[in-house]
Amino acid sequence: EAAEKGGYEHFMIKEIYEQPRAIRETMSSRLAKDDSHIILDELKWTKQEMAAIKKIVVVACGTAYNAGLVGKYYLESLSRIPVEVDVASEFRYRSPLVDENTLAIVVSQSGETLDTLAALKEAKRLGAKTLAITNVVGSSISREADQVIYTWAGPEIAVASTKAYTTQLVLMSMLAIYIAGLRDTISAERSRELISGLRNLPAQLHEILEDVESIKTFAQKYGFNEDVFFIGRSLDYAVALEGALKLKEISYIHAEAYAAGELKHGTLALIIEGVPVIALATQHDVYEKTLSNIKEVKARDAIVIGIAQQGDEQIKKYVDHTIFIPQADKFLAPILAVLPLQLLAYYAAVTRGCDVDKPRNLAKSVTVE
């Protein structure tokens, strides 16, 4: 097992560090050389078929569900098709409104999660076109879906998913650009902008991984707090959900993610002196609004760690510590912003002496209901 860990203490940290390479694999041979379009030769949809799609449902569990939430932003905003995201165990029991004009996308690292597989079967039964995004070739879900695209992240061993999530995000963004291309809802310029942004990601992830000392220090300092809140707006909210899940799964710290604007409708009552709040502020279009939410928690004496894009000098005035991510398009920022959150969870779990790779009560792949 030590050999398999390649010198790392745990599979999880090894997999965190594998992300630049994993993402490169996800993108390899799928970006046109001149950045003009996405190549997904696996997909056999015609322009007419895509024009007929009236709704997309994304169904998944756990981290893959969180990736689906990010996917919703990508797909809706680029392809202008309404998207619903559902937890697989809920989807199958609520008579979903799905028909032959629906595209059902199931996301599953393992391709074996029973609830996701059952949801896929249900969507098929109702006549939907189905697509699987998975990491495991030949898995049950890949065999059941009409079409499949692989994340090519390589084997993920740690129970807490890291490189599967970031590669799912990359693939979701490529899929959204691809579908938008078929539906003529994306300009050549926007497409090129996003594709060149995607190309920068491996080097940018690498940059974050080169300096993890401050993240380690925060984790050691706050690793013994019992509650942590994650706040953000728009795509930052989706990333906040994944950050909270990671922390809960492996460090057993109670963590909650909130849409920053929703705090004042209840959760703000829990924000008291010394409570750590991780505030994501990478989305320029809602930046000022997020800052005002940060001020709200700061006014209650929370300890605020801000996650922001490099060059953001303003945020430093309102938070206790800042972790910067390299500058990126708002769509691609989540793929970078999740990295400090994975590292925080990892180092918090190590600080608390938890069994990082095999957290209590959890399994890598849940093949029972």
Continuous H helices in the chain: 11-17, 19-27, 47-51, 62-79, 88-91, 114-125, 140-144, 163-182, 188-210, 213-222, 235-251, 287-298, 333-351
Burial degree of 271 (CB within 10 A; 0-12, 13-18, 19+): buried
Q: Which amino acid is at 323?
A: I
Identity of the residue, 287 or 346, whose beta carbon is nearer to ligand G6P in the bound complex: 346
Q: Which amino acid is at 31?
A: L
Q: Which of 19, 26, 63, 342 binds ligand G6P (CB under 6 A)?
A: 63
Identity of the residue, 272 or 362, whose beta carbon is nearer to ligand G6P in the bound complex: 362
| 319 touches 298 (CB < 8 A) | yes
Residue 161 is a binding residue for ligand G6P (CB under 6 A)? yes
Q: Which of 40, 105, 153, 159 binds ligand G6P (CB under 6 A)?
A: 159
Q: Of 22-30, 60-68, 70-78, 331-339, which part binds ligand G6P (CB under 6 A)?
A: 60-68
Identity of the residue, 209 or 366, whose beta carbon is nearer to ligand G6P in the bound complex: 366
In whole angstroms, how far apart are CA 103 and each of 70, 150, 295, 354, 366?
Answer: 17, 17, 41, 41, 25
Identity of the residue, 246 or 298, whose beta carbon is nearer to ligand G6P in the bound complex: 246
Residue 191 is a binding residue for ligand G6P (CB under 6 A)? no
Continuous H helices in 92-133: 114-125
Q: Under DSSP, is residue 234 helix (H, G, I), strand (E, B) or coil?
A: coil
Residue 248 is a binding residue for ligand G6P (CB under 6 A)? no
| 187 touches 60 (CB < 8 A) | no
**Structure tokens of 27?**
């993108």
Smallest distance, ligand G6P to C-beta of residue 46, A: 29
Please identify the residue of the shown chain whose CB is closest to the bound ligand G6P.
62
Angle at which helices 333-351 and 213-222 cross, to 10° = 50
Interaction pattern, residues 297-336, with ligand G6P; x per rule: CB under 6 A: ----------------------------------------
Q: Which of 121, 192, 206, 364 binds ligand G6P (CB under 6 A)?
A: 364
CA-wise closest residue to 322 among 309, 334, 332: 309
Identity of the residue, 50 or 88, whose beta carbon is nearer to ligand G6P in the bound complex: 88
Q: Which amino acid is at 34?
A: D
Identity of the residue, 157 or 268, whose beta carbon is nearer to ligand G6P in the bound complex: 157
Residue 62 is a binding residue for ligand G6P (CB under 6 A)? yes
Smallest distance, ligand G6P to C-beta of residue 12, A: 11
CA 37 to chain centre: 23
Q: Which of 31, 56, 58, 64 binds ligand G6P (CB under 6 A)?
A: 64
Smallest distance, ligand G6P to C-beta of residue 248, A: 11
The count of chain residues that interact with ligand G6P, using the rule CB under 6 A, is: 16
Smallest distance, ligand G6P to C-beta of residue 212, A: 22
Active site annotation includes 33: no
Angle at which helices 163-182 and 333-351 cross, to 10° = 170
Smallest distance, ligand G6P to C-beta of residue 302, A: 28
Give the footprint of ligand G6P on residues 80-119 (CB under 6 A).
Answer: 108-110, 113, 116
Identity of the residue, 87 or 270, whose beta carbon is nearer to ligand G6P in the bound complex: 87
Its sign, for the CA torsion 119, 124, 130, 132, is positive
Catalytic residue among 5, 121, 248, 364: 364
Its sign, for the CA torsion 285, 287, 288, 294, is positive
Residue 167 is a binding residue for ligand G6P (CB under 6 A)? no
Catalytic center residues: 364
The residues that touch ligand G6P, with contacts defined as CB under 6 A, are 61-64, 108-110, 113, 116, 159-161, 362, 364-366
